[in-house]
Amino acid sequence: MDPDLAFAVWCGERQQRIEDVLDRSLPAEDDGPAPLAAAMRYAVLGGGKRIRPLLAYAAGEAVDAKPAIVDAAAAAVELVHAYSLVHDDLPSMDDDTLRRGKPTCHVAFGEATALLAGDALQALAFAVLAHGRLPDGAVACAMLADAAGWRGMAGGQAIDLAAVGASLPMPELETMHRMKTGALIRAAARLGAACGRALSATEARAIDAYASAAGLAFQVVDDVLDVEGSAASLGKTAGKDAAQGKPTFVALLGVAGARERAEALRVEAHAALAPLGPTGRRLSELADWIVLRDR
């Protein structure tokens, strides 16, 4: 890896890489019961920021892991993320009709097929991870399961659904989002870091602390963009959180206060990377991108 490679170029290369890995990992459109494979490909390919795979590759670089070793981890976290979006968009959850600039999976394929596509994507994620080149596939699968399950993403979504119409205090709001959004982001960084040399205890704590701050920052900025952005710029329905009465950082802090919180988390993420030295460069740049993005 060229240490002088511009961040935008690095991102573009890694985004294309993970697109190719995902394309190879997914079933062919005419494979299996129709239209399940087509729905799976529709939900995954050709869109999204790929922030979780980028975090996996960046963490891998921090510990001298070659991208080919990180591919399975990067694909697995993105497949879990894609499945979660398919299920979150269903009428029984957030009831959304636009995702990544196109109709949501259940609008395009029907609710039953979308539900099955999400199930199949989650199963595929663990198959990809188990058959990957990580040093310890069993540990990696357990790590991803914890992040996706009741103590992580699914649990956070349950809290979110129960909190509609309520005003959560800051500690509870942060706990919800550290589970719903942050758990998979932390898993992405941890899985990428598991692809290289053995980490010292200090380095492992540094990556966890970094990913915890970056994951929460991602959600804070999402809340701001839901208010300030448009459907065209976001690729999804804007303003839906307020319309649905969901507790958000903007509702609690206002736009200016939420931006201040995101900036404080960016500083926290940078500080956490100190033990990694120059090898944490891409992780540092990703923290900037997460907070300063406009979509």
Give per-residue pLDDT as tens, 30-66.
887 889 999 999 999 988 899 999 999 999 999 999 9
Percent of the chain with pLDDT over 70: 94
Give me the half-sphere count of Cα atoms (radius 13 Å) on the Cβ side of residue 92: 8
Predicted local confidence at residue 232, as pLDDT? 57
Given a cut of 50, the residues of the chain with pLDDT beneath it are: 1
Predicted local confidence at residue 295, as pLDDT? 79
Q: Is 101 left (phi over 0), alpha (psi -120 to 50) or beta?
A: left
Predicted local confidence at residue 101, as pLDDT? 85
Predicted local confidence at residue 233, as pLDDT? 58
Predicted local confidence at residue 159, as pLDDT? 93
Q: Which helix (H) or strand (E) holds 102?
A: strand 102-103
Predicted local confidence at residue 261, as pLDDT? 97
Give me the half-sphere count of Cα atoms (radius 13 Å) on the Cβ side of residue 107: 11
Residues with Cβ < 8 Å from 254, sequence gap 6 or more? none
For residues 283 and 273, the answer to whether their CB atoms sit within 8 Å is yes
For residues 283 and 197, the answer to whether their CB atoms sit within 8 Å is no
b/e map of 104-143 (b: 16 or more CB within 10 Å)?
bbbbbbeeebbbbbbebbbebbbebbeebebeeeeebbeb
Provide the β-strand partners of residue 102: 99
Name the H helices within the chain. Answer: 7-25, 36-44, 51-62, 67-88, 105-109, 111-130, 137-148, 153-162, 170-180, 182-193, 201-228, 231-234, 240-243, 249-272, 281-292
Provide the β-strand partners of residue 103: 98
Provide the β-strand partners of residue 99: 102
d(CA 161, CA 150): 14
Predicted local confidence at residue 5, as pLDDT? 76
- What's the token pair of residue 30? 């005419």
Residues with Cβ < 8 Å from 209, sequence gap 6 or more? 268, 272
- What's the token pair of residue 79? 């497949």
Predicted local confidence at residue 238, as pLDDT? 61
d(CA 6, CA 31): 39
Fold held by 7-292: Farnesyl Diphosphate Synthase (1.10.600)
Provide the β-strand partners of residue 98: 103
d(CA 194, CA 70): 9
